[in-house]
Chain A
């Protein structure tokens, strides 16, 4: 029987992480480590790296996946649920307020102009994020080819993400068979 204190601790910690993580990714990592390793001693650094790796290769948002995983580790399925809800809770509240506000004031020329500028910023930031991702994910010619192919598939043929991701996954899985075969030979 998982103690209420354990669940409360999970909720508080992950609520805090969800509330103070600005900008995702690395920002979250520092906060996460402070809370989960230093403060609570729920995992150690090696396990943390492992979690991050898992979060990168599975569906879902890293912040949420980490919460789910640690929650499960500490208190089973209920812990996973509590941690997950805790980490997304702040987002739900804040974004609901912001969305409603923006819809209300969005029609002024002032806001329109500001948003136009914001859009350009976002486009620029997307490009920089892309550069970073590109460097991280393209380590050799074949990954470069994969990147180019998926880009072209969407731009030229309008093929959906829903097709491309599984196909890429399948390719990856199949390449494992090749390596296994080599080993067997």
Chain B
């Protein structure tokens, strides 16, 4: 991707990512994986790193992807593009709409956008889970499924943190895959 394409992609992402960095994943998956710029596997790895590093997942992912495409400058351009829409929106709200969060229309919009975005995330989670658990030839790999279940168990039973879960995954990968 060129610098301009990076800028456009992350500017768009910045506009439509509502309610947390995770909401950026659907748009990025659409434009990065479906367009063939990155494989599902690399995309998942990118999320893994973005999640584990300090900072917000969206900002991290933007930097990471930008760097893989156009080096450090690509990373910087991507993050700036991601941040500009919210900079504009937030300063405008701070300046002109002091009762933004009390507004009824805003609350209603929030009430519909949030489940919609969750549905989008569900879609991405679905696609990526299939990609992670099954090989390209769709063969059934029991060890992958077992690792998947293990991670889920560790999360629900011990409330293990993201970084620990990722490290466990890496270890399992080395040992069993």
Which residues of A come within 8 Å of B, CB atoms? 18-25, 28, 50, 53-54, 56-65, 68-69, 72-73, 77, 80-81, 84, 87-88, 90-92, 94-96, 98-100, 102-103, 110, 113-130, 133-134, 136-138, 143-144, 146-151, 153-155, 160-162, 164-165, 167-169, 171-173, 175-176, 179
Q: How many residues of B contact A (CB 8 A)?
A: 101
For window 44-87 of chain B, which residues contact chain A by CB distance below 8 Å?
44-45, 47-60, 63-64, 67-68, 72, 75-76, 79, 82-83, 85-87
Number of A-B residue pairs with CB-CB distance less than 8 Å in the complex they form: 362
Q: How long is the Cα–Cα vector from A165 to B116 in the complex, in angstroms? A: 7
| Given A81-B87, A124-B129, A162-B12: 17 more A-B contacts, CB < 8 Å | A56-B114, A61-B21, A61-B59, A62-B20, A63-B21, A68-B87, A69-B93, A72-B90, A99-B68, A117-B169, A123-B125, A147-B119, A150-B117, A154-B123, A162-B27, A164-B116, A168-B116
Which listed residue (A50, A69, A118, A155) contacts B44, Cβ 8 A?
A118
Q: A57-B101, A117-B169, A127-B152 are in contact. Are A122 and B128 (CB under 8 A)?
A: yes
Whether A122 lies near B132 (C-beta < 8 A) is yes
Closest-CB distance, B104 to chain A (whole angstroms): 6
Are the C-beta atoms of B95 and A72 separated by less than 8 Å? yes
**CB nearest to B29 among chain A residues:** A161
- The 7 sampled A-B contact pairs (Cβ below 8 Å) are A57-B110, A59-B89, A61-B57, A88-B55, A88-B79, A124-B129, A168-B115
